[in-house]
Structures are given as structure tokens and as C-alpha cells.
Chains A and B, each alone.
Chain A
Amino acid sequence: MNGTDTIHVALSGSLDDFDLDVAFDAPGHGLTALFGPSGCGKTTILRCIAGLNRLAGACRIEEDIWQDETRFTPTHKRAVGYVFQEASLFPHLSVRDNLLYSSGGRVKPAASNGVGFEEVVDLLDLDRLMQRGPQRLSGGERQRVAVGRALLSQPRILLMDEPLSALDRQSRDEILPFLERLHRSLAIPVFYVTHDMSEVERLADHLILLDAGRVVASGPLGVLQSDTTLPLALQRGAAVTLDAVVSDYDAAYGLTRFDVRGGSFLIPGSADMPTGSRQRLRIGASDVSLALEKPASTSILNVLPATISSSRALDDREIVMVLTLGHDSNGEQLLARITRRSWDLLELQDGRPVFAQIKSAALAPRRLPQ
């Protein structure tokens, strides 16, 4: 990952008595989540990328060098879009003027790889808010305007610092679909800081795990989720997210078939999802149970052949394991957590073929606007 199509960040030093020492590369597309507990330095990293704080190091977005040993580009000369935790709209400007602040109040044609005004307004559903003042918006509406405003500055990278954490549950649910849609339709890379795993599972392609100012791990989301040497897979709520394609709809039973690498899932509902559309499925480790033979009679719809790739004892009661879908070790990886008693009873071991049973209810995909 040293090519010019990647993002490279290396920072070290201390800021307000907080020591940071990180170096990582991230892909030049998709959403990279910076995940870790509060105080792990993720916001500081984002601020340094934007040039709002300064630590020694380097920062390169593809071929644009913003910081190295000799240079430090000031914030206003960096093509960043920054979405703060609070929307921070300019209270003296209307929604429209907030959106157009970066272009001096004029609607400009989009840069070659950027987004246009109409596109942003449409994407974030801002049309009917245009003439309002920020004081007359809900929290979710405000954050949508803030996202749109950042996008319209034609950034090379969109930096989002816990954009949902200041919102209530309802506003969060309202805005998440917009973020999902955004991430699918945008060409520019997004760095997304959060301490909420569910946001990572819904949005991230790439993940950087942080703790106490250091990078714990960095890689594609699925890889980190199913790495039993990392804390993610050992958590109670551990899960993997799979990229699925809608392949079929059974109108008689109201079931939609989702194909993933090495298998497929039947999930109730989702009649309106067009065949061929891509969805993200979340499969929790505790929603997966195992059988040695394919059960002949079961109410569980989704019974998929899989192989135990690796396993690790959580404690003396439970074991977490990584399953590879299919029996040719080429499929997607799932996490499964079972008791040590079952492990012993079934005489399970690494490399052993099994059948993974997954409750459909746990699989309900989100309705994603396309």
C-alpha cells in the first residue's frame, strides 16, 4: 500500500498532554472507520489530517502532500471536507448560504471528480430546507446540511468526526441511510471517526483500530472482524458484515435470496429490493450455531456448509471460531461463538467441516435507498 492511490498518515508527538504515535495507509476510496474508545486519539488524527492541529509527521492524500518534513499546508489550502460532531452550521447564514459557503455563495459546476450542488441537495434531501435558518432545523437535518456543505467544498477526502454522536436515537436512524447512500455514491474516500461498532458495521469498508494513541490494527473490515487475535472478535457483540447480492425473490413465501461468496441466505421480506442490488448483511457470532450433519428437519432456513478455519477459547466456558463458508475454503468468513461443552461434545477442531445454522430474524437487512 505505498502507491500514490492510497492515503498515508504518520503522526507522532503530544498535544495537550496526550501522546499520539500512529502510522497507517488507507485505500483512496470507500469509508475508512477510525474506531476506538474515547481518548484513543482518533479525533486528533482527523484534526491533524485537516491541518487544524499540528503534530510532526506526514500526510498524503494520493498525490497531494499536505505535510512532510518540510511542508505544512494550512487548513484552508487542503481539499478536506470536515464534518464535526456538532453540525456547527453558521447561525447567520441560511441553509443555502451554508451549503455554498466554500464557493463564495455561488453555485459552481462540480469539479471533474467532485459532486454538484443539485446532486448533493438531492442526495441529502435538502431541497425543502434551503431558505431556513439553522436554528429552525432538527438535529438530523442540521447534520445533513453539514455533510452537504463539506461535500460541496469539493474535497479530496471527507473527514467525519462522530457525526452521529450528538444526535438522539431518532435523528441517528434518520441520517444513517443518508450516510450509507453517500458512501455508495461518492468517489471520494471518507474517514469516519466513531466509537460505536454498529456504525462501523453499517458503513465501513476499511477499519483502523486505535487504542491509547497507537494503531492496534488496520485492514479491510471483514478481515479485522474475523481475526481472533484482535479484541473485536472476542467481544460479546462480535459480528461480521458480508457484502451480499440480491439474487432472487420468492413471492409465495415472501423470502429474498442473498448470495455471498461461498453460500447464500434466505431472508424474509425485502420484496422491493431489485435483483442484482448489493446489500450488507450483519451476522453476529452468537446468532450462529453449528451442526456436524445437515439437519434434516429444522425450522432454520439458513443452513450453510462451512469449515472451521480457526478457533480460540474466550475463557473456560466459551469458544469463538472463524468459519469459512463452503467446503472449498474460498468463501466469506463468519464468526461463531459456542460453549466449550458443545465444542467438546461435537469433537470440533480446526479444519473440520460443519454446517452453520443462522436464524433469519438476525439477518434482516436494512432497507437501503439506492
Chain B
Amino acid sequence: MQGLSSEIWISVRLTVALAATTTVILLIVGTPVAWWLARSRARWKEAVAAVVALPLVLPPTVLGFYLLVALGPDGPGGAIAGLWGARTLAFTFEGLVIGSVVYSLPFVVQPIRNAFEAIGDRPLEVAATLRASPARVFWTVAMPLARPGFLTGAVLGFAHTVGEFGVVLMIGGNIPGETKVLSVAIYDFVETLQWREADILAAGMVVFAFAVILAMTLIEKRMRRAGS
């Protein structure tokens, strides 16, 4: 790994920072969404669920295109950027975080929703009969019982953001240290025929993905054993 230039390390650091930030935001944003999807009896909740799941089936180019427009000066992103005098959220780390949050949302919401649904009504009813307010029920019963779902969601959200390419390519602008993440770096290395570097990074990604999937399977297995 000695031959790896600082440029690569910048990309690695950036990618980890992006994935970590995205995961934290997704856990914060995704948990209430997952809770609502799991508990609501609203008839239109499955429509909301379908919207959340859209990134699973939409090509990144569709998301990337809409994000590019939405983040730009004529979209909401431009309005937000205007708060600190910028014109657009594209080409920024913040813009990538927004894109990644949208793109990885189903990977976090779905496992947490499943975990909330698996709890069932009973433990929540028990807690209510023990004088626990809805908020206390959520924090002391629902959250701890859904822990495997949170773990799965966090791991998937992180890994999926690390593996994100199309969206970043379309809204990132390839700025080293700001938006040039690993997957884009690999793409550039391949395109410029720097195959040795591409090879090192690509192999690293394969090992990373393998480790993530293996770790998750093992953790889930252990949690199932502990839970039964």
C-alpha cells in the first residue's frame, strides 16, 4: 500500500466521512419514518413506503439528475445554499450527504421498520399498562428490542453509501477532498488506464463489501441466538 498516493488516502478519508455522516443522519431521519411505517394504520402509508423504497429500483442516473436540478440554484438546494451565500449544494460535501441520504434511505429504513414490526403490539401495550408514556415506551422498549434492525440498517446504510457511484458522479464535480470519493477515484483510474491503482482500490472495495456482509450475517446470527 506504500505506493498509494495521498490522493487516494484523501478519497478514502472522504468516503468514510461521507458514509459515516450519511449513516448518522439516516438513523436520525430514518427511525421516525420506520416507526411510523411500522405502527401507523393510515391507508396511504404503503404509498409512503413505496416512495422510500424508490431508490432501490431507480437507476442512480435518475436520482442524480433530479438531485442535480434540486440542489441547483433553481431548486430547494439553491435556496438552502443561499443562506450562507452559495448558489448551489451540488459539488459540495453537504450536497453529497443529501444525495447519499436519499439514495441509501431504504437500506436503513427497511431493516428498522422490519425490526419495529417484529416487536408486535404486546410489549408496547405491556409498557403502557406499566405507566410508561408513549415516549418512554419508544426509548425503553421499542428501541432496545429493535436493536438488531438498527445494526443492520446502519451497516447497510454505511456500506451502500461507500459503494455509491452514479449519484456522486452526477452531482459531485469530482473535487478532491470534497466530492471525489473512492468509487469515482476508481472510475478515473480505470478511465485513465492507471490499472494498478484501480486494482488496489477495487480489490479493497471487494474485501470491504465481503467483510461487511460476513460481519452482518454473523452479528444477526448471534443476536438471534441471544434473543431466543
Chains A and B directly touch (beta carbon < 8 Å): yes
Contact A91:B125 (CB < 8 A) given known A101-B130, A135-B228, A153-B130? no
Interface residue stretch chosen among B98-106, B131-139, B188-196: B131-139
The B interface is mostly helix, strand or loop, or mixed, namely helix
CB distance from A181 to the nearest CB of B (A): 23
A140 at interface, CB cutoff 8 A: no
Do A153 and B129 touch (CB < 8 A)? yes
User: Which of A76, A88, A153 lies at the interface centre, i.e. has the most chain B CB atoms within 10 A of its CB?
Assistant: A76
A52 neighbours in B (Cβ, 8 Å)? 125, 128-129
Q: How far is the CA of A102 from the CA of B131 in the complex (A)?
A: 6
CB contact between A91 and one of B127, B131, B133, B227 (< 8 Å): that residue:
B227
B129 neighbours in A (Cβ, 8 Å)? 50, 52, 75-76, 78, 80-82, 150, 153
Do A91 and B145 touch (CB < 8 A)? yes
B41 at interface, CB cutoff 8 A: no
CB contact between B130 and one of A74, A135, A149 (< 8 Å): that residue:
A149
Q: How far is the CA of A233 from the CA of B221 in the complex (A)?
A: 56
B126 at interface, CB cutoff 8 A: yes
Q: How far is the CA of A74 from the CA of B134 in the complex (A)?
A: 10
B43 at interface, CB cutoff 8 A: no
Chain A residue at minimal CB-CB distance from B135: A76
B140 neighbours in A (Cβ, 8 Å)? 101
Q: How far is the CA of A80 from the CA of B129 in the complex (A)?
A: 6
Within 8 A of B (CB), among A9-52: 50-52
Chain A residue at minimal CB-CB distance from B140: A101
CB contact between A76 and one of B132, B141, B228 (< 8 Å): that residue:
B132
Within 8 A of B (CB), among A48-96: 50-52, 74-82, 84, 86, 88, 90-92
B127 neighbours in A (Cβ, 8 Å)? 90, 101
B224 at interface, CB cutoff 8 A: no
B173 at interface, CB cutoff 8 A: no
A149 neighbours in B (Cβ, 8 Å)? 130
Q: How far is the CA of A80 from the CA of B126 in the complex (A)?
A: 11
Do A88 and B131 touch (CB < 8 A)? no
CB contact between B126 and one of A51, A84, A92 (< 8 Å): that residue:
A84
Contact A76:B131 (CB < 8 A) given known A91-B145, A92-B144? yes
Interface string of B21-45 (1 = CB under 8 A from A): 0000000000000000000000000
Do B122 and A88 touch (CB < 8 A)? yes
CB distance from A200 to the nearest CB of B (A): 23
B123 at interface, CB cutoff 8 A: yes
Q: How far is the CA of A101 from the CA of B140 in the complex (A)?
A: 9
Interface string of A244-267 (1 = CB under 8 A from B): 000000000000000000000000
Do A92 and B145 touch (CB < 8 A)? yes
Interface string of B43-81 (1 = CB under 8 A from A): 000000000000000000000000000000000000000
Contact A82:B131 (CB < 8 A) given known A91-B227, A92-B144, A92-B145? no
Contact A101:B132 (CB < 8 A) given known A91-B145, A91-B227, A135-B228? yes
CB distance from A285 to the nearest CB of B (A): 39
A150 neighbours in B (Cβ, 8 Å)? 129-130
CB distance from B227 to the nearest CB of A (A): 6
Q: How far is the CA of A90 from the CA of B227 in the complex (A)?
A: 11
Contact A76:B122 (CB < 8 A) given known A90-B141, A91-B145? no
Q: How far is the CA of A101 from the CA of B134 in the complex (A)?
A: 14
Do B130 and A88 touch (CB < 8 A)? no
Within 8 A of B (CB), among A329-366: none
Chain B residue at minimal CB-CB distance from A101: B130
Do B134 and A76 touch (CB < 8 A)? yes
Q: How far is the CA of A135 from the CA of B226 in the complex (A)?
A: 9
Interface string of A90-113 (1 = CB under 8 A from B): 111000000001100000000000
B137 neighbours in A (Cβ, 8 Å)? 76
B122 neighbours in A (Cβ, 8 Å)? 84, 86, 88
Do A90 and B126 touch (CB < 8 A)? yes
Chain B residue at minimal CB-CB distance from A87: B126
CB distance from A347 to the nearest CB of B (A): 58
5 smallest beta-carbon distances between A and B, as pairs? A82-B129, A75-B128, A102-B130, A92-B144, A76-B128
Give residues in A with beta carbon < 8 Å to B: 50-52, 74-82, 84, 86, 88, 90-92, 101-102, 135, 149-150, 153
Report 8 cross-chain contacts, Cβ distance below 8 Å, ordered by A residue: A51-B128, A52-B125, A76-B137, A81-B129, A82-B129, A84-B126, A86-B122, A90-B127
Given contacts A88-B126, A90-B126, A91-B145, 9 further A-B contacts (CB under 8 A): A52-B125, A52-B129, A76-B131, A76-B132, A76-B133, A101-B127, A102-B132, A153-B130, A153-B131
Give residues in B with beta carbon < 8 Å to A: 122-123, 125-134, 137, 140-141, 144-145, 147, 227-228
